[in-house]
Amino acid sequence: MRVSLHINRRARAVDVEPSSTLLDVLRDTLGIFDVKEGCGEGVCGACTVLLDGRPVSSCLVLAPTAAHRAIVTVRGLEDDGELHPLQQAFLRHGAVQCGFCTPGMLLTGLAFIERHPGADREALRHAIEGNLCRCTGYAKILDALEDYARESKRG
Amino acid sequence: MHAFDYVAPRSLDEALGVLAEHGEEAKVLAGGQSLIPLLNYRLAKPRVVVDINGLPLDGLSVAKGRLRLGALTRHAALEESLELARYCPVLREAAALIGNVRVRTLGTLGGSLTYADPAGELPMVMLALDAELAIAGHAGRRTVAAGDFFTGPLTTALAADELLIGVEIPMTRDMGGAVEEVSRRAGDFAIVAATALVRVDRRGRVDDARLAFAGVGPKPVRIAAAEELLVGSEPTSDRIAEAADAARAAVAPEADAFVSAAYRRLLVGVLARRALARAAARALAVH
């Protein structure tokens, strides 16, 4: 079936099998590889995308059900070639090691901070509890999120 | 994932028609947070997936002393609802404990209740709240009490050609409530979860108490012996400890690959005590 997917502010008509997940379509059909596949059961957070501004596991969304909704992958955070301020905070704090969890961390963190400007470390810790990182021990990721949350409050 | 037909009915009648036609071969897709993992692992192989997200089954309203919630109400909406903070904070507290943030974005009330995981938070809370579940079928509508809806692990009173359309909850604004749980990791299903609701009269004595658990058997349970112990006296810490002991004595949990039956039983006592203490403090604050 043909569906219209709105990905990173661009509408794309795509042929999908009803049984394909949004993750399959993003990676295998459209080549959007900044979305990662980890567990395939919604636990690890590597495949996080924003759907109408809220984080979802793209491995647990059937592609047809994402039609006509705003999908944002980490690539969509850039603005005119400039990294998003949260991405810059990740760079400043060295919050990236292998990078596999990074897109999910950024999108989950951003969606949370947009709803809770100035969120403290404890709240941020709770916000990313569904995103697994096996490298960093989370400390630098939280440093970066905290930094950006402070910035966002000053707005 | 194996191939299946995908239908997205536009009306409840159309959805019920599809279910009547396909019966057990059809699976209802709401938030998909339980169904799609089963499809990804080919543990479920429906011939037809019926996407009900286009049906007008979400939303929350308060009328005639009852709280009504549509089956498609998302966990995130429960968690963030200001109306629930006022009318049913215990449900809001339970919703915030479900899965991870992504599960709560898409997962639905109706989905959690019909999936009926024995460790699920929402079935347990519905049991504590004496909720009634509204069901539509090709032949008509019916209402089932939460206590009769859950029949075993992942099984309910819902027939294959029926759809859960919503729940009705008698108002509990004069009760204090609390949910407690222990899970192995954040976001996992609970090993054991407890819900307590307590109401006190003007003299500070308990006149209604409810205590429900998930994770201690094939379906959520209420512990009448513990509830009865509390009614008629002040909710002191000694009384609460007695009720928690009664709960621990009343359950017969089983071991699984991760925890022993004895540990589950221990958790029943600890979580009962914590949940009852918080619920009682809130009940006293109502006055």
Sequence spans of domains, chain A? 2-77, 85-154
C-alpha B14/C-alpha B150 separation (Å) is 26
Quick one: average pLDDT of B39-44?
92
CB A103 within 8 A of CB A36: yes
CB-based contact B102 A130, cutoff 8 Å: yes
pLDDT given at position B276: 98
The fraction of chain B above a pLDDT of 70, given in percent, is: 100
Considering only CB atoms, B32 lies closest to which of A20, A48, A62, namely: A62
Say whether pTM exceeds 0.80: yes
At B139, is the pLDDT very low, low, confident or very high (cuts 50, 70, 90)?
confident
CB B89 within 8 A of CB B169: no
User: Would you identify the CATH topology of the domain A85-154?
Assistant: DNA polymerase; domain 1 (1.10.150)
Q: Spell out which residues of chain B touch residue A19, defining contact as CB-CB under 8 Å.
A: 1-4, 6, 39, 49
Does B27 have pLDDT greater than 80? Answer: yes
Q: Spell out which residues of chain A touch residue B96, defining contact as CB-CB under 8 Å.
A: none
Same fold, A2-77 and A85-154: no
A9 touching chain B per CB within 8 A:
no
Contacts of B3 (CB under 8 A, 6+ apart): A17, A18, A19
Quick one: average pLDDT of A104-122?
97
Q: Tokens standing for A9?
A: 């502010």
CB-based contact A62 B51, cutoff 8 Å: yes
Nearest CA in chain B to A131: B100
CB-based contact B36 A54, cutoff 8 Å: no
Given the candidates 2.30.30.30, 3.40.50.300, 3.10.20.30, 2.60.40.10, the CATH classification of the domain at A2-77 is 3.10.20.30
Respond yes or no on whether ipTM tops 0.90: yes
Contacts of A17 (CB under 8 A, 6+ apart): A1, A63, B3
- How many angstroms away from the CA of B207 is the closest CA of chain A? 36
DSSP conformation class of A105: H
Q: Which domains does chain B have, with CATH numbers?
A: 5-51 (3.30.43.10), 60-170 (3.30.465.10), 176-286 (3.30.390.50)
> Look-up: residue for tokens 């995103």?
A131
Q: Spell out which residues of chain A touch residue B6, defining contact as CB-CB under 8 Å.
A: 1, 18-19, 62, 64
Q: Spell out which residues of chain B touch residue A20, defining contact as CB-CB under 8 Å.
A: 1
CB B60 within 8 A of CB B67: yes
pLDDT given at position B286: 85
